[in-house]
Amino acid sequence: MHRRAFIALLAVGAAQPGGVAAQPAARVYRLGILAPTAAPATSDLNATTRSVPRYLEGFGYVPGRTLVVEHRYAAGRLDDLPAMARDLIRIQVDVIMAIGSSAVRAAKAATSVIPIVMFGNFDPVATGLVKSLAKPEANVTGMLIAPAGTLAAKKLELLKEAVARAARIAFLTHEDPGLRPQEKETQAAAATLGVTLLLTQVRSSDYERAFAAMVADRPNALFVAASTYFMRDRKRIIELAARHRLPAMYEWPDQVEDGGLMSYGSNLSRTTRRVAEYVDRIFKGARPGDLPIEQPTELQLVINLKTARALGLSIPPSLIARADRIIE
Residue 240's identity, in one-letter code, is L
238: pLDDT strictly greater than 90: yes
Give the domain 29-147+267-290 fold.
Rossmann fold (3.40.50)
The separation between CA 259 and the C-alpha centre of its own chain, rounded to angstroms, equals 20
80 vs 103: CA distance, rounded Å:
10
| pLDDT at res. 208 | 97
16: pLDDT strictly greater than 60: no
| pLDDT at res. 209 | 96
Homologous superfamily of domain range 152-265+300-327: Response regulator (3.40.50.2300)
pLDDT band at 3 (very low <50, low <70, confident <90, very high): very low
| pLDDT at res. 25 | 66
31: pLDDT strictly greater than 70: yes
pLDDT band at 12 (very low <50, low <70, confident <90, very high): very low
Q: Tens digits of per-residue pLDDT, 40-76?
A: 888 787 789 999 999 999 999 999 999 999 999 999 8
Residue 3's identity, in one-letter code, is R
Q: Where in the chain is the domain with CATH 3.40.50.2300?
A: 29-147+267-290, 152-265+300-327
CA distances from 187 to 134, 192, 213, 249 (A): 29, 9, 19, 15
| pLDDT at res. 24 | 59
73 vs 70: CA distance, rounded Å:
10
Strand partners, 224: 172
Of the chain, the end-to-end C-alpha distance in Å amounts to 76
Q: Tens digits of per-residue pLDDT, 247-294?
A: 999 999 999 999 999 999 988 889 999 999 999 999 999 999 999 999
| pLDDT at res. 5 | 44
Task: Dump the DSSP string for 214-234.
Answer: HHHT--SEEEE---HHHHHTH
Residue 284's identity, in one-letter code, is K
CB atoms under 10 Å from CB of 263, counted, come to: 26
pTM of the model: 0.84
Q: Tens digits of per-residue pLDDT, 73-108?
A: 999 899 999 999 999 999 999 999 999 999 999 999
186 vs 300: CA distance, rounded Å:
19
**Least confident span in 58-72, 104-118, 140-154:** 140-154
Beta sheet of 95-99, edge-to-edge order: 67-73, 29-35, 95-99, 116-120, 140-144
| pLDDT at res. 8 | 44
- Tell which residue, 214, 272, 129, 216, has the closest CA to residue 225: 214
Residue 238's identity, in one-letter code, is I
Mean of all residue pLDDT scores within the chain: 90
Q: Tens digits of per-residue pLDDT, 160-218?
A: 999 999 999 999 999 888 888 889 999 999 999 999 999 999 998 899 999 999 999 99
For the segment 215-226, the average pLDDT, to the nearest whole number, is 96
| pLDDT at res. 1 | 45
